[in-house]
Structure 1
Amino acid sequence: MRVIGIDPGLRNLGWGVVDVAGARISHVANGICHSEGTELAMRLLSLHGQLTRVIATYRPQAAAVEQTFVNKDGAGTLKLGQARGIAMLVPAQAGLAVGEYAPNTVKKTVVGVGHADKGQVAHMVRMQLPGVEIAGPDAADALAIAICHAHHGGASALAAAVARAQA
């Protein structure tokens, strides 16, 4: 089962693709979509196009997206929510089921602590995917989201259902 994890962001949208075979998780690719333009609509369109190409290239069978947390700046939260909409729309357009995970759930799954910092997340992603070259913090978070989806049964349950359907 191939899973794409997506870390939504308006400037930098991280993505990470892993293959899941039972308890084994292996790295496929990761990167960052950088929004282009100054107008919000053009930035969202840019992210949509880039993420669409990533999904077309790597052909994941499932997707997972980090849930948005509300911060002090309402306008910033709203913009992040719009980027998250792109992160959920693109996989849905490709016919993928999209799992959603709270940031603390992702961190607890990958690091063992729900309030881990980005450095700890990146370190544990490297431990779980030996030899991986991570494109940046947003890509590390996206790989962590994909790993979280694999561990929480989203990927393995879907793989089992597909295997049963093909038998």
Structure 2
Amino acid sequence: MRVLGVDPGLTRCGVGVVEGVAGRPLTMIGVGVVRTPTDAELGDRLVAIERGMEQWLDEHSPDHVAVERVFAQHNVRTVMGTAQASAVAMLCAARRGIPVALHTPSEVKAAVTGSGRAEKAQVGAMVTRLLRLDAPPKPADAADALALAICHIWRAPAQNRLQQAVAAHRTPGASRTQPAPGISRTPGASRTPAASRTSRTLKGPTA
């Protein structure tokens, strides 16, 4: 599985590509940051992010895209920019038919470090260790993007099993109680145990 992790941001949008499967060593394919000038118009900045995302998608052809889920913060302006960059990343992936997953910061931290309250330095250190890098990726946005990709690779199998279970449960007409293998039920058949029915059938008239 090849995953493109995206740490959305209007000024710096971290991107990182990781390849591998859960339970085995992972490999970093690429890491970087898509930047936009702070003095540019909002529309132009979003176009720049779109072009940067398209380049990464063209170059690395990921199977999945993992984006950090945006949460409300005290700085509404920062949150708006992050949400707009996130939407652009999701749009680029959806346009190509690439599945998109959203992971919260605490989910990513817990997956990579074991603690949902880990500091950025801890996340960077663990990313460096897990991907066998010489040094933590800079800036922190790049390391966070790799952490998102790692998180998705490790969580995807469990999420897929959960989705399949939910889909099976919601299947229209599915019976909650399935008969034993090899036994079929005839509509309207008596619920009297088979042994009792047989004994009555074999019992002949009294002489």
Q: CA deviation at 1:111?
A: 0.8
1:64-143 aligned within 5 A: 64-131=66-133, 134-143=137-146
Higher helix proportion: 1
Range with greater deviation from structure 2 (18-27 or 54-63): 18-27
Match of 2:20, SS state, is strand
Change (3 A) 1:13 1:124: same
RCO higher in structure (CA 8 A, sep ≥6): 1
| Alignment-derived partner of residue 15 in structure 2 | 15
Structure 1 runs (4+) deviating above 6 angstroms are: none
Give structure 1 stretches of 5+ with no counterpart: 159-167
Q: TM-score, normalised on structure 2?
A: 0.71
CA RMSD of aligned residues (A): 1.9
Give structure 2 stretches of 5+ with no counterpart: 162-207
Give the number of aligned pairs.
Answer: 158
- Aligned residue among 136, 145, 153 for 2:148: 145
Change (3 A) 1:13 1:155: farther
| Alignment-derived partner of residue 27 in structure 1 | 28
Q: Deviations over 1:102-121 (max 9, x none)?
A: 10000011011111111111
CA distance in 2, matches of 1:157, 1:55: 23
Contact 2:66 2:100 in 1 (8 A): yes
Contact 2:22 2:153 in 1 (8 A): no
Larger radius of gyration: 2
